[in-house]
Structure 1
Amino acid sequence: MPVIEKGSLVLISGPSGYLGAHCAEELLKHGFRVRGTVRSQDKGEYLVDLFEKYGRDKFEYVIVEDVEAPGAFDKAIKGVDAFLHTASPFHFNAPDPYKDLINPAVNGTLNALKSAKSEPSVKRVVITASFACIVEPKDPGTYVFTEKDWNEYSPKQVEEHGKDAEASQSYRASKTLAERAAWKFVEEEKPQFDITTIQPPLIFGPVIHQVPSPDKLNTSVNNFYQFLVGNKSAEDAQNGFGSYVDVRDVAKIHVESLLNDHAGNQRFLVATTDSSYQPLLDTYFNNASDDLKSAFPKAQQGKPGNSKPKANTIDTSKAQKTFNWKPIAEKDTVIDMVESLAKYQKERWSK
């Protein structure tokens, strides 16, 4: 029996973001009613229009301007049965790691859980964590990461170096400390709900959220977009980024976590492969139609055929077994992503 029955009302934070928009759509596809928290009416109305095909009464939004504010989700949580908390900063522009990344991530997560505890109907909270909560420096090709691992390295880097810490370590620390805070909350407060945390690495795939200009693209997709418009070189294409996963797969696992009784109080790694940008570029150039290629005449091919960098392994057998998950093929991830970018470029950004 599902933990959350289809037709129930689910709250989602961050539905105006890259992953959040896909999570909201996946909820609607599964027959849930959805309430999203957004920072402005403009973002909310964009989503109302985007999801109109599922029924005008199936999606609604509440404005929450600051997820760090005490009681930020108290109004939005009323009457809901589950909460998908996807809102958390993902960027490397953090002059102050605590102010710009760690505090928003930790306080936003704790506010979500405190509000959920105040609403007796909430049975499960699913939190978007990150592979950043797990990964630590290891010699390439020597280690298999699982859900039992925790990133102790990044928080120590921030403790030791403060504002001089590497931006990537500040981001990883923010995700790690936020997830740590969530599990501590459940242990100490013993709420009426359980939690599930999802650990994706870099996320690619089609864009459906509001992106008024290319510079507003989310970090991961923007990294690939820069190759399409000729702003990154062949050398950049050889840089390994560890692993990636399709945004639609991550959204699916979030929603399946509401339906699967065995997902409660569990962490799930979701990833597909170890890679650099070169194999993704090869996939694009080998499979894109001529019309799609013509949308990006300056696209950089990198150094076609170069092997993938040696990297450590991510064991995703737990997610595959629990949810009967079969990852989306790399070709579909890449081509669907580029097609969405071409559409945005033609219909929105050119204007």
Structure 2
Amino acid sequence: MSGEGKVVCVTGASGYIASWLVKQLLQLGYTVKATVRDPIDGCDGVFHTASPVLFSANDPQADIVDAAVKGTLNVLKSCVKSPSVKRVIYTSSMAAVMCNEKPLTPDTVVDETWFSDPAFCEETKPTLNLSVEIILKLVNGEKSYPSPYKLVDVKDVAHAHIQALELPSASGRYCIVESIRSSTETLEILRQLFPTLHLPTKLEDDKPNEPTYKVSRKKAESLGINFISWEVSLKDTIESFKEKGFLTF
């Protein structure tokens, strides 16, 4: 169904599911009005130019220094949480370079190394959505994994949202679950797909033979959802980790 001429709003559009929903809506021709929790999410680059500039203040530490430092740290922390951000361009002042109590003499040469502390970059690592972070931890040797685990591809979730909007017959609650798998099953699939990965041989608290419940797919399939298999989703996830630099193998 075409969305040409239709306008929709997606709240929290920078979120994991919502970002895929926005992508699919745009592909269908919808005009999307998006609200975001964090405008940095989904950006490739960030220009941070906002900072207080005052030539005088009653309390310079609070009005200028603290405001600038806290504001910048908040922006940088948001950038760290967004895996899409590749580069941050920060506009500061020469005052931030030179005001470090070093003597300024005719022989002094000021350069970019002055008052430059890389600790923030060294100590802070990129973050992932919790749902996919579990998989990355497993691949990196984590022996604790929720089992059994309800699974569905994010693209199917986004598709279900659109179908719920477009189908006149859609109503009520939908359980969007492709399958329920044990950690042992997931490990075995990973070994078959990526034999060079160094995976744990056994996981804590795993009960591979324990009977699991089922989630009915009947109503979800009435939306026209042809679920992407866990094998395909897992393969796409690992390849995405590699593409974005979270894994190297």
1:18 CA displacement: 1.2
| Residue of structure 2 in register with 1:31 after alignment | 29
Match of 1:282 in 2: 188
Any runs of at least 4 consecutive aligned residues in structure 1 with deviations exceeding 4 A, and if so which? 44-47, 212-215
Q: For 2:6 and 2:135, locate their aligned partners in 1 and report how far apart those are by CA, in whole Å.
A: 37
Which residue does the alignment assign to 1:312?
213
> In the alignment, does 2:173 pair up with 1:252?
no
Deviation at 1:302, TM superposition (A): 3.1
The answer to whether the Cα contact below 8 Å between 1:244 and 1:271 also exists between their aligned partners in 2 is yes
Q: Distance in 2 between matches of 1:22 and 1:327?
A: 16
- Partner deviation per Cα, 1:221-262 (whole Å, 9 max, x = no partner): 1111111112x12xx35x423421111111110111111011
Instruction: Name the SS for the 2:148 alignment partner.
Output: strand
Residue 42, structure 1, aligned to residue 37, structure 2:
no
CA distance in 2, matches of 1:274, 1:316: 12
> CA, structure 1 residues 308+320, in 2 after alignment: closer, same or farther (shift >3 Å)?
farther
Match of 1:97 in 2: none
Task: Work out the CA distance in 2 between the residues paired with 1:39 and 1:327.
Answer: 29
Pair 1:334 & 2:200 matched:
no
Q: Give the alignment's TM-score, normalised by structure 2.
A: 0.60
Conservation of the 8 A alpha-carbon contact between 1:240 and 1:309: no
Q: Secondary structure at the match of 2:169?
A: helix
Distance 2:202 2:125 in 1: 21
Q: Percent identity, aligned pairs only?
A: 22
Q: What residue number does 1:228 align with?
A: 139
Which structure has the larger Rg? 2
Specify the code of the residue in structure 1 equivalent to 2:208: S
CA distance in 1, matches of 2:219, 2:37: 35
Check the 8 A contact 1:268/1:318 in 2, yes or no: yes
| Structure in which a larger fraction of residues adopt helix | 1
CA–CA distance in structure 2, aligned partners of residues 45 and 275 of structure 1: 34
What is the CA deviation profile of residues 272-303 of structure 1, one whole-angstrom value per residue up to 9, with x for unaligned ones? 2122222122111101275xx4xxx5x33436
Where does residue 176 of structure 2 map in the other structure?
A: 270
How do 1:179-190 and structure 2 match up within 5 A?
none
By percentage of residues, which structure has more strand?
1
User: How many correspondences in the alignment?
Assistant: 172
- The answer to whether the aligner puts 1:210 opposite 2:82 as a matched pair is yes
2:182 partner amino acid: S
Q: Distance in 2 between matches of 1:17 and 1:324?
A: 24
Give the whole-Å Cα distance in 1 for the aligned partners of 2:168 and 2:44: 33
Task: Structure 2 unaligned segments of length 5 or more: list them.
Answer: 46-80, 86-123
Task: Find the aligned partners of 1:17 and 1:214 in 2 and give their Cα distance.
Answer: 19
Contact 1:279 1:308 in 2 (8 A): no
Distance 2:27 2:201 in 1: 37
Structure 1 residues 39 and 313 mapped into 2: Cα distance closer, same or farther (>3 Å)? closer
User: Are 1:345 and 2:228 an aligned pair?
Assistant: no
User: For residues 145-204 of structure 1, what are the alpha-carbon distances to aligned partners after superposition, in whole Å with 9 as ceiling and x for unaligned?
Assistant: xxxxxxxxxxxxxxxxxxxxxxxxxxxxxxxxxxxxxxxxxxxxxxxxxxxxxxxxxxxx
Q: Deviations over 1:105-147 (max 9, x none)?
A: xxxxxxxxxxxxxxxxxxxxxxxxxxxxxxxxxxxxxxxxxxx
Shifted more, 245-254 versus 210-219: the winner is 210-219
* Residues 119-268 of structure 1 mapped to structure 2, 5 A cutoff: 210-211=82-83, 216-230=127-141, 232-233=142-143, 236-237=144-145, 239-263=146-170, 265-268=171-174
- For the residue of structure 1 that corresponds to 2:33, the secondary structure is strand
Q: Tell me the amino acid that sits aligned with residue 137 of structure 2.
A: Q
Tell me if structure 2 keeps the 8 A contact 1:16–1:44: yes
| TM-score between both structures, scaled by the size of structure 1 | 0.43
Q: Is the contact between residue 22 and residue 247 of structure 1 (CA under 8 Å) also seen in structure 2?
A: yes
**Aligned partner letter, 1:17:** G
For 1:249 and 1:44, locate their aligned partners in 2 and report how far apart those are by CA, in whole Å.
Answer: 20
CA separation of 1:45 and 1:340: change in aligned 2, threshold 3 A: closer
Distance 1:29 1:301 in 2: 42
- Partner amino acid, structure 2, of 1:254: H
